[in-house]
Structures are given as C-alpha cells and as structure tokens.
Amino acid sequence: MATMTLLEGIRDGLFTEMRNDDRVLCFGEDVGRNGGVFRTTDGLQKEFGEERCFDTPLSECGIIGTAIGMAMYGLRPVPEIQFQDFIFPAFDQIVSEAAKIRYRSGGEYTCPMVIRTPYGGGIRGGHYHSQSGEAYFCHTPGLKVVIPSTPADAKGLLISSIRDEDPVLFLEPKKIYRTMKGEVPEGEHVVPLGKGRIVREGKDCTIVAYGAMVETCEKAADELKKQRGIDVEIVDPRTLVPLDEKMILDSVRKTGRLVTVYEAPKTGGFGGEIAAIVAENAIGSLEGPIVRVAGFDTPFPYTLEGIYMPDVRRVVRGVERTFEW
C-alpha cells in the first residue's frame, strides 16, 4: 500500500497499465511534455516515449476521432479532454460513432478506449471549467460512465476501464484531485465496473452520491448523527453506467428514505434517474419523499461557486425533509 491523492491514483493506474500492455497510449492537449494541465500524466512521456504519450492540436473532435480509429485498429487509447467543458466539439464522435460501433458492425468491431476528463466545480473556474455533464453521456447506449471518489477507486476503476472492450467516459472530480488522500494498492489493482460501494452503513436514510459529493455527504452524515441522531447510509455507485441498482435498492428498502446528491443542474440530472429507479422498484418501502440535492438550473457561477455547489448544510436539510412527510 502507498498513500496517494486521487490524482496520483489515476497516474499510478496509467503507469501500471501502460507497463502491462504496450497497446495502451495517452494523448491530448499538453499531456506529453507538460504532463497535463493538472499534471496527471506527468512522467509518462519520459518513460514511454513520444509514440505512446504525445501532445495533440487543440481539436477535441480530432482527438476523439483519432482515438476511435486507434481503438478499432486494435490499440487501447486513453485520450484526455483537458476539461469536461471542452468535450462538446467531440460530442458527435463520442455519441454517434464510438458508442455505436459495436452495434452498427453487428459485433464485428469494438471500440476499447477511455476518455479521461476532469469535471465539476471546486477550483473557481466558472462556467467554462466547472460543468458536470455526466447526464448527457449516461443517456447514450453503448457508452460506460465512471466517476471515482477515492484514490484506490481511481486507480482500480481506470485499469478496469482500459481493459474494457467498449468506450468509457472516465470523469475525474477535480475538486478532490489533491485533497482526497488514501491507501492505494501497489501494482495490480482492479475495481470492477458496475459495482458500487457502501461508504458508511446506516439505518435511517440512504444518500446516493458520487465524485466530490461523497466527501460532502460524509461530513453531512456526521453532522446529522451528532445533532439529530439520524443514522445515514451512503452509497457511492462508482459507475453510473452500468449502475449497481441492486445495492441502491437494498439500501433504500432497509432505510426507507432516499436523498440523491449531485453537483450538476437539478433538472435532468442523474440523481433524478436514481430516484425513478427507486420509485419504480421500491416505492412500497419509502417512508418519506425522495429528495434531490443538486446544483441550480443556471450556468456555473464564478463568484458564487460555494452557493451553487451542494454543501453540508444543504445535504443536512435534504435528509431532514425526508422525515417531514
């Protein structure tokens, strides 16, 4: 075991899999010589050379289009989009091409590629560097969506994503890149896609959260236990597609209450999909209303970032609402 930040866990996953498999290569804007804008790929070019870790022109459409061709040819590309906010010029390539190759070829071709990109708020980046667009991609059949919340998961999920035969969008919560620290297994470490984790057990209310919001919910759970005696269970799906529906439903059937927490705009957010799954399959177990705690339906602000993003106070209030029915 080694103590790492979430960012270091991602980097360790890249080093591990590039050493294990010479088909794996990384590229994107500034990922080579400079090691990426957040230095996530620092050192890769030095060890693996410019053929396996290289810089690209400022063209997200070109980056992803190139990666699709490489994946179909038999490589395992890991392209980086510098910020998730910049991914939309490549939206057509991801949604219309990468996600549909297996289907349109009748299974003759697959597209094993991992699109890494930092997402979410926490760095005062405003509306061009802070968006959370996971729901756009969860709506796309054929595409897997992964969001780690711990250093160990960051490494293990990334390795699993690289080994997967289908395209994966790997969203990295930049707010906790360097603040989230934990023990990470050295060498081989795989966390399967589609398997969530129970962050903490509880009996009174289930919170489903992912990415940077997991840490916020842990703090809220401590506050609820201390001030109100409410025992919260926190579920981190880890992968939104495929989703560990069973873990979520089992938790809600036990606690009788559900709060979903996500930093994307509330309307159309993935937390609403989780709410729908629970309503369809476990409504008889509910003892209070399902509550969504999310960002607001506005562009991501610069000066009001702390108000926009869900915080401990808002999560506490969300859980309290489930007891007021």
Both tokens of residue 22? 């010479």
Active-site annotation holds for 129: yes
Both tokens of residue 208? 């489903």
Q: Please report where in the chains the tokens 């790997």 appear, as a residue.
A: 170
Q: What is d(CA 78, CA 71) in angstroms, rounded to the nearest whole number? A: 10
How many CB atoms neighbour CB 189 within 10 A? 19
Pairing state of beta strands 258-265 and 291-295?
Answer: parallel
Conformational region of residue 206, where left means phi above 0, alpha means psi within -120 to 50, and beta covers everything else: beta
Cα torsion 112, 88, 270, 8 to 10°: value is: 60
Both tokens of residue 47? 């060890």
Active-site residue, from 127, 129, 139, 189: 129
Q: What is d(CA 115, CA 65) in angstroms, rounded to the nearest whole number? A: 11
How many CB atoms neighbour CB 229 within 10 A? 8
Instruction: Supply the residues annotated as catalytic.
Output: 129
